[in-house]
């Protein structure tokens, strides 16, 4: 239960702070340029708590020789980050633009790299990383299930935000590119 509580605390912090309504309330206290950094710091603190306070339990299963399988999704994850071009994981870009008295630029909808095959390649590769770990304990199974569910739910929530932000361009993208798994399921016989 303690481990589940750690994960839920991270999920709530992460999911609440990314919502537009939270950002509007935060704007009353801090300039918009600081939102990304505040979000990154809070997420880092909560993730650090998960990593440090997580309690390990009994080993259920251990695979030999598949450790190198973990390298492939890590490489894919970095490929997806690189494809974003202006990815700002620490929220520094907004602060930098504010200090330079530049007007923040609105993000453009560009599809490149793994985003041509799947709408959320970062989530796809993260899911593979979760499940490719060669050691599976009771706590690791709980972690994998909870974090996988959170990723899927988060992807659906993010889809709404992206459709609102980019309009018909994103809706067309949704129709043509799968959300989490880079291939479309086709019914048998079609």
pTM: 0.81
- Write down the pLDDT at residue 74: 85
Which of 172, 48, 36, 26 has the alpha carbon at shortest distance from 107? 36
Q: Residue 148 CA to chain centroid, in angstroms?
A: 11
Degrees, nearest 5: CA angle 174-176-178: 65
Between the CA of residue 85 and those of 109, 120, 167, what are the distances in Å? 12, 15, 21
- Write down the pLDDT at residue 119: 95
- Write down the pLDDT at residue 108: 76
Contact criterion met (CB below 8 Å) for 3 and 138: no
- Write down the pLDDT at residue 133: 80
- Write down the pLDDT at residue 20: 85
pLDDT along the chain (190 residues), means of 10: 92 90 92 90 93 85 69 87 81 83 77 93 92 85 94 93 92 94 70
- Distance between CA atoms of residues 95 and 111, nearest Å: 26
- Write down the pLDDT at residue 185: 67
- Write down the pLDDT at residue 66: 60
């Amino acid at each position: 239960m303690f481990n589940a509580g750690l994960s839920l605390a991270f999920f709530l912090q992460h999911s609440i702070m990314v919502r537009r309504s939270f950002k509007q309330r935060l704007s009353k206290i801090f300039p918009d340029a600081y939102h990304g950094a505040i979000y990154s710091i809070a997420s880092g603190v909560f993730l650090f708590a998960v990593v440090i306070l997580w309690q390990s339990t009994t080993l259920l299963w251990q695979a030999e020789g598949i450790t190198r399988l973990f390298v492939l999704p890590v490489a894919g994850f970095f490929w997806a980050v690189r494809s974003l071009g202006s990815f700002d994981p620490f929220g520094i870009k907004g602060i930098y633009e504010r200090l330079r008295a530049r007007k923040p630029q609105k993000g453009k909808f560009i599809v490149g790299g793994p985003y041509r095959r799947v709408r959320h390649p970062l989530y796809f590769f993260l899911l593979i990383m979760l499940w490719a770990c060669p050691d599976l304990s009771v706590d690791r199974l709980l972690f994998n299930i909870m974090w996988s569910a959170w990723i899927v739910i988060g992807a659906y929530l993010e889809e709404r935000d992206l459709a609102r932000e980019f309009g018909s361009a994103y809706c067309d993208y949704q129709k043509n590119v799968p959300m989490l798994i880079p291939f479309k399921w086709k019914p048998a016989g079609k």
